[in-house]
Each structure stands twice: as C-alpha cells, then as structure tokens.
Amino acid sequence: MRSNRINDQIDGIRLMASNFKIIYHQHNDNLCIKLVGDFDGSSALELVNILNEHHGKVKKVFIHTDRLGFIHPFGLSVFKNNFTINRLFRMLTFTGKYRSKLSLQKDQLH
C-alpha cells in the first residue's frame, strides 16, 4: 500500500498560491508548521484550517516563520482575529524571524 507521505518528516504540504505554502509534520503530541512565502488572507485561513484539523490531536503547535516573505496586513488581521486562533493561543509557539508579528501574546515568543 502506498503512503500519502512525501517522506518520513513531512505529513503534508498545502499550496495556496504560487507564492505560499504550508509544510507540516506531526510528531507525538507536537505539530510543526513551516510557513513559506507571502502570508495573505487566504494563507491565514488555510493555516487556521490546519490548526482546526489537528485540534485535540496535539498539545503543542510550533509555527516556524523564517521562510515567510511579505506579511500582508489583511492576512495578519484575518489570522489574529479568528475565533479559533484566539481559543487555541495557549498551544501555539511561534519561532523565527517573524514570530513577534504573528504571535498573539508577547509571552509566546521563543
């Protein structure tokens, strides 16, 4: 039987547009997400969808931001004002260059 996995380290890749993708991998109770490209409104909604899909399956989510290009203000607003994200903020840890932009609270920075 053929697996849907691309390799042992990646559970999925979501391509939203030619300028953005989300790469994610679940390991035990942790979900690691890499954001790649420009973060706009549709990118924000796709990230929310992935978080919703894994809610209850993981205890901690690490969102890596080093590979982001431009963060559109509208995308940032869509992400930060989403009810689901505000409900899950305790399990989210942002890392990388843009962690302070995406973080919902200052004490989440790592």
- pLDDT category at 101 given cuts 50, 70, 90 is very high
Structural domains in the chain, sorted by start: 12-104 (3.30.750.24)
The C-alpha atoms of residue 12 and residue 67 are separated, in whole angstroms, by 17
SS3 2: coil
Q: What is the C-alpha to C-alpha distance for residues 35 and 14, in angstroms, rounded to an integer?
A: 10
pLDDT, tens digit, 9 for 90 and up, residues 9-42: 445 665 556 789 999 999 999 999 999 999 999 9
Write out pLDDT tens, residues 33-43.
999 999 999 99
What token pair was written down for 108?
Answer: 């989440």
Angle at 85 between CA 16 and CA 70, to 5 degrees: 45
CB atoms within 10 A of CB 68: 20
